[in-house]
Structure 1
Amino acid sequence: MAKRRAVGNPLALAVLSGLLLEPMHPYEMGRRLKETGKDRNIKYNRGSLYMVVEQLRKAGFIAEQETVRDTARPERTVYALTDSGRAELYDWMRELVAEPEHEYPRFGVALSLLGVLEPGEAVELLGTRLVALDREAAEITADTARAKEQGLPWVFLVEEDYRLALLEAERRFVTTLIDGLKAPEYLRAWQEALGEGTPWSAPEQ
């Protein structure tokens, strides 16, 4: 079972990881997230980044090291990783890497209730999903190819390889599901249980 973290936002983990390399101010943290492509999987904005930094400071995981004053910019506070922050980083990473966790995806909810849809409509909707999956996979493939050409080390792209593997697995699953929904035995069973004239009939669009 996952531990309850003092700061549980995934963005906090990225901040701790960045500060492992060197002390930084929040602006630099955000720039590094984009440079290394971590913003593809960890969504944030300037406000959420500063909020997480403050939460980490209050938790004792990071500490103010110095304030940098520049006449061209507002003063910036540089933060450093504390010993407890380093311990939290490694404990959290080990948990995430080693322990699977059910994440309750929205598609899983839809699948659990798929039987309420008329089979033909379900097949059409899943076909639309296949098109979207193919488009997303193509975008990821193109983005990672460009990143590799620019010399970005593979370890910074491994999460994109994971996303691509998930998309490919989902595509195979959806294709098989469509075949199952078209099977005569399923159509007969659906018609008997939820066909036209039953209380569960879907309204026409």
Structure 2
Amino acid sequence: MTTSPSPLALTVLALLHYKPLHPYGMQRLIKQWGKDQVVNVSQRTSLYRTIDRLCAGGLIAVWEKGRDQSYPERTVYELTDRGRQVTRQWLDEMLAEPKQEYPQFPVALSHLPVTTPQEALQVLERRAGRVTQTRAELEAGLAAHDVPRVAMLEIEYLRAVTAAEEQWLRSVIEDLRTGTLTWSREELIGPETFSA
């Protein structure tokens, strides 16, 4: 069975690179190390599905099953030799090769003409406020952690991307305010469309 790379699958493999873990320990470390900023682990079922896929693909294996009296049985997983190779392969590919991803915001921007320039101004101002808040939170998170820089590179990256988005949003908002950026349905579709 071939296992396709995903952010969560790579994260599980990377965590197991350090030591064998059970799923709850993985989820706890992801949150503790701030990796939940880049990997969605809000649904534990997605973590369990990922673990099942990695097991079926021979990338991880059961290391031990244990039972603590105050907890249900816990399965601890370890990385296989094949898993170590695949981890490096996926990591190299994800670092070196830009991949076309399809986040929601660019899709919404591509359909901005459905709104009026004034409506667009209002929603983009709301987004800019939230992006500014996110950037401030990322900066505070960077300042609060006393860990080696390499452990926070993804937060640095998110801060840089968020700062760039914030700057871009402010320029678009200014163009909407001044009327430099405007549109109408007739201008976009053409008058002949409305005569049908």
TM bracket, shorter-chain basis: 0.7 to 0.9
| Per-residue deviation, residues 116-140 of structure 1 (Å, max 9, x unmatched) | 3222222222222211111111122
Is the aligned partner of 1:159 residue 2:154? yes
Tell me the equivalent position of 1:23: 20
Contact 2:131 2:166 in 1 (8 A): yes
Distance 1:185 1:31 in 2: 49
Tell me the equivalent position of 1:82: 80
Contact 1:9 1:52 in 2 (8 A): no
Tell me the equivalent position of 1:193: 187
With structure 1 as the length reference, what TM-score do the two structures score?
0.81
Matches within 5 A, 1:27-38: 27-38=24-35
Distance 1:145 1:38 in 2: 16
Is the aligned partner of 1:180 residue 2:178? no
Q: Please report how far the alpha carbon of residue 182 of structure 1 lies from its aligned counterpart in structure 2 after TM superposition.
A: 4.2
SS in 2 for 1:72: coil
With structure 2 as the length reference, what TM-score do the two structures score?
0.84
Contact 2:5 2:90 in 1 (8 A): no
Tell me the equivalent position of 1:130: 128
Contact 2:113 2:185 in 1 (8 A): no
Give me the identity figure in percent. Answer: 39
Q: Which segments of 5 or more consecutive residues in structure 2 lack a partner in the other structure?
A: none
Matches within 5 A, 1:23-102: 23-44=20-41, 45-102=43-100
- 124 and 20 in structure 1: CA distance in 2 versus 1, 3 angstrom threshold: same
Contact 1:7 1:55 in 2 (8 A): no
Distance 1:128 1:59 in 2: 44
- 157 and 185 in structure 1: CA distance in 2 versus 1, 3 angstrom threshold: closer
Tell me the equivalent position of 2:106: 108
Q: Which segments of 5 or more consecutive residues in structure 1 lack a partner in the other structure?
A: 201-205
Tell me the equivalent position of 1:203: none
| Per-residue deviation, residues 174-200 of structure 1 (Å, max 9, x unmatched) | 12222333455654x638626xx9988
- 93 and 198 in structure 1: CA distance in 2 versus 1, 3 angstrom threshold: same
Distance 1:43 1:141 in 2: 20
Q: Please report how far the alpha carbon of residue 87 of structure 1 lies from its aligned counterpart in structure 2 after TM superposition.
A: 1.0
Look up the equivalent residue of 1:193 and give its one-letter code.
E
Q: Please report how far the alpha carbon of residue 55 of structure 1 lies from its aligned counterpart in structure 2 after TM superposition.
A: 1.4
Contact 2:12 2:26 in 1 (8 A): yes
SS in 2 for 1:80: strand
Please identify, of 88-97 and 40-49, the stretch whose mean Cα deviation from structure 2 is larger: 40-49
Distance 2:159 2:130 in 1: 13
| Per-residue deviation, residues 149-171 of structure 1 (Å, max 9, x unmatched) | xx233222211111111111111
| Per-residue deviation, residues 62-99 of structure 1 (Å, max 9, x unmatched) | 11122223333333222211111111101101010001
Contact 1:133 1:167 in 2 (8 A): yes
**Between Structure 1 and Structure 2, how many residues are aligned?**
191
SS in 2 for 1:70: coil
